[in-house]
Structure 1
Amino acid sequence: MVSTRHHPTDFPPPPKTPSPSPVHTNNNNNKWVHTPSTAITLWLVLSVPLVLWDAAYVLLRPHSMPGHSLHSPLWTPYALYGTIDYIYGWPAFNARNGFTAAQTVLNLVESAGYVYYLAVVYCHGTSLTANGRGGGQRRPRKGVRWFLQETKVVAGRRGAGALLVAYSASVMTVGKTVLYWLNEVFSGFENIGHNDLWTLVFFWIIPNGLWIVFPGYNVYLLGAEIVAALEDSAPRQRGGRSKSS
């Protein structure tokens, strides 16, 4: 008699593949965070009031100009600067040159973005402190020293939004300042060509160049953070969901 082999009918189930954990969780330690740069924060704290002061002078002309009621003492330095850069002086105003006021309106848009960024960092920033081997977070005791010196993060969508706003405003600042320079180049230096070299360097090139150097550094630093975040993120499907969700 030929017997058939007996096979067990119940096989052990295959091992379950663990499902991947999401990249972002509700845990603050695992959520994406933006780390504000001390250099960027300090620059914005110093530059925004100067831009607002400059904007007030431009938009209040002629009352803020020499010989008028609002000029002294708040805008006294423009009595000199208006003779160095005519775009801020009487020649451009009498010619009804609209470039000065137009770039000032854009200055206010940029400043609004910077103020929003600083407010988010101050109100929602969380200090970092060592906590064993890993990092931990603690409730900050906020103030000027904390705001300008201490390492802090802004987590999640709020931090991402503030980062995007600061990056966009910095791009605007660089582009507008370069346009300001190119306006002089292509007009034959109509507003500044009357100055000697040293006056031009110390009263026009260096002061205006600061609004290219520092915002340009902002663009580089914030842009690198955006690129790094995009490299680590999952692609998004139509409808706003990522493939990992």
Structure 2
Amino acid sequence: MVSTRNHPSSFPPPDLSPTKTLVRSPRSIRKGTWTHAPSTITLLWLLVSLPIVCWDTAYVLLRPHSMPNGSLHAPVFTPYALYGKVDYIYGEKAYREHNGFTSAQASLNVAETAGYVAYLWVVWKYGEGEKRAVGGGWGGVACLVAFALSVMTVSKTVLYWSNEYFSGFENIGHNDPLSLLFLWIIPNGLWLLFPSYMIYEFGRDILHGLSIAGGDRSSKPARAVTPTKDE
């Protein structure tokens, strides 16, 4: 019988230390692969804007209860007593005339907000490192959805402004210049500025991924992301 007590020197005993046998998470991002990492500006804008959009949508869809003299007006919707006088589309006039534009826009807000929340959830759950870089299929889906939502936000806001222009500023033309600037133009302009920036950021990430898929390894990502070190 052949003895099996001694191992040949070419076959050393396996190293069973925990650091060697630990299985890497499938979420780990390998070096050289495409990743999407949201910018700090994008994250801050979403964290600030989403609660405001939810508040605005609730006011519109809960009318007339959320309006002045309504049971839900104070204290949550009290500022809309002023804004309804600045922009009649939010005031008594538009509601009394059954103007459907306000509620139609609020309905789109619901879908838009749900999409942004889903994007943040993917970044939080699957993102790695300080920049919350997301690779693989989840990264692609998150980037594509956020790009589409950003286009939706800008388009919806442009429609909102265009509605005033083509109606002869029917809902805001009564304001003095300073009131119009600080209570309508600047607040609503933020929903053009930041989503436009997001379109650029997400679009550049998507183009970078397509360049890599097409074999162009010289393409640079929108932001430098340090991938997780491959043990």
Shorter-chain TM-score tier: 0.7 to 0.9
Letter in 1 for 2:100: G
Instruction: Select the residue among 52, 56, 59 that pairs with 1:57.
Output: 59
Q: Which residue identity does 1:75 align to in structure 2?
A: F
Cα drift, residue 113 of structure 1: 1.0
Q: Structure 2: how far apart are the matches of 1:30 and 1:213?
A: 33
Query: Is 2:57–2:109's contact at 8 Å kept on the other side of the alignment?
Result: yes
Is 1:188 the counterpart of 2:168 in the alignment?
Answer: yes
1:123 maps to which residue?
125
Structure 1 pair 68–27 and aligned structure 2 pair: CA distance change class (3 A) = closer
SS in 1 for 2:134: strand
Task: State the partner residue of 1:225.
Answer: 205
Per-residue displacement from partner, 1:74-110 (whole Å, max 9, x unpaired)?
A: 0000000000000000000000000000011111111
Partner of 2:73: 71
Using the TM superposition, give the Cα deviation of residue 183 of structure 1 relative to its aligned residue in structure 2, in angstroms. 0.2
User: CA distance change for structure 1 residues 109 and 78 in 2, over 3 Å: closer, same or farther?
Assistant: same
- Please state whether the residue corresponding to 2:133 is helix, strand or coil: strand
Structural mapping, 1:17-32, within 5 Å: 28-32=30-34
CA distance in 1 between counterparts of 2:31 and 2:212 reads 16
**Could you list the runs of 5+ residues in structure 1 that have no partner in the other structure?**
1-25, 128-149, 236-245
Match of 1:167 in 2: 147
| SS of alignment partner, residue 151 of structure 1 | coil
Give how far 1:27 is off: 6.3
Q: Which runs of 5+ in 2 are unaligned?
A: 1-27, 216-231
CA distance in 2, matches of 1:95, 1:27: 55
Bigger-Rg structure (1/2): 1
Trace 1:84-123 onto structure 2 (pairs within 5 A): 84-123=86-125
Q: Deviations over 1:8-40 (max 9, x none)?
A: xxxxxxxxxxxxxxxxxx963343211111110
Q: Which residue is equivalent to 1:9? A: none
Corresponding residue pairs, total? 188
Question: Contact 2:124 / 2:132 at 8 angstroms: preserved in 1?
Answer: no
Which amino acid in the other structure matches residue 54 of structure 2? L
State the partner residue of 1:19: none
Match in the other structure for 1:212: 192
Q: TM-score, length-normalised on structure 1?
A: 0.75
- Which residue in 2 is equivalent to 1:177? 157
Q: Which amino acid aligns with 1:77?
A: P
The within-5 A match list for 1:31-42 is: 31-42=33-44
CA distance in 1, matches of 2:209, 2:176: 48
Q: Distance in 2 between matches of 1:198 and 1:45?
A: 28
> How far is the alpha carbon of 1:229 from its aligned partner?
1.3
Cα separation, 2, equivalents of 1:109 and 1:219: 18
